[in-house]
Structure 1
Amino acid sequence: MTYTRVCPLAEIPQDGALAVEIDDTPVALVRSGEGVFALSDICSHAEVSLSEGEVYDGTIECWLHGSCFDLASGKPTNPPATQPVATYKVKVEDGDVYVSLGSDE
């Protein structure tokens, strides 16, 4: 699995999100509690940037229609979204955030 260095951890707001692009893929980096998560930055319902939404209770809320997505699984936790968003592997080393867009297979 290949990881790409994306940014320093300090650039991601606590309980907030940062929009980045990795190999032309829009990714929302999210800090929630002690965790760092990476998921598609495109809402599966309205195709707007999820990184502009609120982060709370282990979810990120789409600012347009209010769908929330679980940070760990990408699954919607309420309507109107019914499809999950992609999630990506994250690791933090020496204060930097690395993301892998690849699968485990």
Structure 2
Amino acid sequence: MADWVEVGATEDLPPGSYTSVDVDDVQIAVFNCGGTYYAIEDVCTHDYGQLTGGEMEDCRIVCPRHGAKFDVTSGEALTPPAYEPVETFPVQVEDGKVYVADDRWD
């Protein structure tokens, strides 16, 4: 079973914001989209650079280098030059704290 990693307090991640955390050497971006938290791998499938640093538009993150957009709720690539989705991860909120886990190897 994957270990849950604390991302931070819910008050530090208000709607429309995001942060990135390292989980076992994988950068995971955690987003607050309308009060619901989602997590995707913090990597653009077009050029493998970080997605964080880009603007969040509704529930989409815009890659800061080439403008590819990804749906943070599903990981789906929405616009070129990215065509492949990014990995998604489970998120849980408990006692006012946000947690994420990399469950790919379970």
Structure 2-normalised TM-score? 0.88
Indicate the SS of the match to 2:90. Answer: strand
Q: CA deviation at 1:67?
A: 0.6
Aligned length: 105
Q: CA deviation at 1:104?
A: 9.3
Where in structure 1 do 4 or more consecutive aligned residues deviate above 3 Å?
Answer: none
CA distance in 1, matches of 2:98, 2:40: 14
Please name the residue that 2:24 is paired with.
23
Flag structure 2 segments of 5+ consecutive residues without an equivalent: none
Flag structure 1 segments of 5+ consecutive residues without an equivalent: none
Q: CA deviation at 1:7?
A: 1.7
Q: CA deviation at 1:45?
A: 0.7
CA distance in 2, matches of 1:12, 1:102: 22
1:98 lines up with 2:99 in the alignment? yes
Structure 1-normalised TM-score? 0.88
CA distance in 2, matches of 1:51, 1:10: 19
State the AA in 2 paired with 1:36: Y
User: What are the superposed Cα offsets for residues 29-50 of structure 1, whole Å, 9 maximum, x if unpaired?
Assistant: 1111111111101111122211
Instruction: Classify 1:6/1:57 alpha carbon distance in 2 versus 1 (closer, same or farther; 3 Å).
Output: closer
Please name the residue that 2:84 is paired with.
83
CA distance in 2, matches of 1:103, 1:9: 25
What's the RMSD between the two structures over aligned residues?
1.7
